[in-house]
Every structure is written in structure tokens, then in C-alpha cells.
Amino acid sequence: MTSRDPLPFDPIARAASLWETRIGPAGTMAAVTSVMRVQQILLSATDAALRPHGLTFARYEALVLLSFARRGSLPCESWVNASSYIPPA
């Protein structure tokens, strides 16, 4: 089976069933797991679209940040905050 072949079962439904059996109500867990899976699929598709241009998603993000910079550069603290998602103090 390649990574593009569909599984013979819905992994989120299977996880929800196991969660329900072992822990309790699984609605929230299934919703969060679904959102995270969509994020993985979108990131993979974005990486595939950027690869022919020699870009990674991180480099693309840096270029987007620079495109919005008024001076064409960003101070070091902006790079650190943007890359680590830490809000300034």
C-alpha cells in the first residue's frame, strides 16, 4: 500500500470508537483530530506546490513576512517571534 492509497477504514472513526470505549465521549477528540488531519493534508499539498520553486513552507513564510515589511527587512525580534509564535512581551 502506498501513502496515496486509501485505508480500508476511517482512522478518525476508529480512534473515536477506541476513545469512546476507553475514556468517554469522543466528539471533541474526533473534531480536533479531523482539523489536525486537514492541516497535515494542506501542508503537504503546499509543500508539493512550493518544491518545484526550491522553497520550503518555512522559507515561503519568511518571504511573505518580507513582502509585508515596509523597509524590505525585518528586525531580528520579528523573525524570532514569527517563527516561534511567541508574542512580544
Same structural domain, 43 and 13: yes
Q: CA 48, CA 1: separation in Å to the nearest integer?
A: 21
Give the pLDDT confidence of 14-23 residue by residue, as tens digits: 988 988 899 9
Above 60 in pLDDT, residue 82?
A: no
Read off the pLDDT of each residue in 31-39 and give the average, rounded to a whole number. 90
Domain with 77, as residue range(s), is 55-89
Distance (Å, whole) CA 28 – CA 59: 33
pLDDT exceeding 70 applies to what percent of the chain? 75
Query: Is 6 a residue whose pLDDT tops 70?
Result: yes
Tell me what pLDDT residue 51 has.
94
Are 15 and 40 members of one domain? yes
In this structure, is residue 62 part of a structural domain?
Answer: yes
Are 33 and 68 in a shared domain?
no
Overall number of domains in the chain:
2
Alpha carbon separation from 5 to 1, 2, 13, 47, 83 (Å, rounded) = 6, 5, 18, 19, 34
38 pLDDT band, cuts 50/70/90, is very high
